[in-house]
Amino acid sequence: MMPMMQKIPAKSGLWPLILVLLLFGWSGQALAGGADSFVKNHAERVLNKVLANKASLKANPDKLYAIIRSSVLPHVDFYSMSRSVLGKYWNQASGSQRNAFVREFRQLLVRTYGTALLNYSGGQIDYKPAQVSGKYAVVRTKVPRSGGAPVAVDYRLRGGGSSWKVVDIKVGGVSLVSNYRTSFGGRVGQIGVSGLIQEMKTKNR
**137-190, pLDDT tens digit by residue?**
888 888 777 777 888 888 888 875 556 678 888 888 889 899 999 999 999 999
Residue 116 CB contacts under 8 Å (≥ 6 apart), including other chains: 1, 15, 16, 19
- Residue 191 is predicted with a pLDDT of 96
* Residue numbers of the chain with a pLDDT score lower than 50: 1-13, 16, 23-35, 38
**Do 158 and 147 contact (CB within 8 A), yes or no?**
no
- Residue 197 is predicted with a pLDDT of 97
Q: Is the dihedral of CA 198, 199, 204, 205 positive or negative?
A: positive
Residue 16 CB contacts under 8 Å (≥ 6 apart), including other chains: 113, 116, 117, 118, 119, 120
Q: Which domains does the chain have, with CATH numbers?
A: 3-204 (3.10.450.710)
- Residue 64 is predicted with a pLDDT of 80
- Residue 57 is predicted with a pLDDT of 84
- Residue 10 is predicted with a pLDDT of 42
Count Cβ neighbours within 10 Å for each residue of 44-78 and write b for 16 or more, e otherwise. Answer: eebbeebeeebeebeeeeeebbebbeeebeebbbb
Residue 148 β-bridge partners = 145
- Residue 161 is predicted with a pLDDT of 52
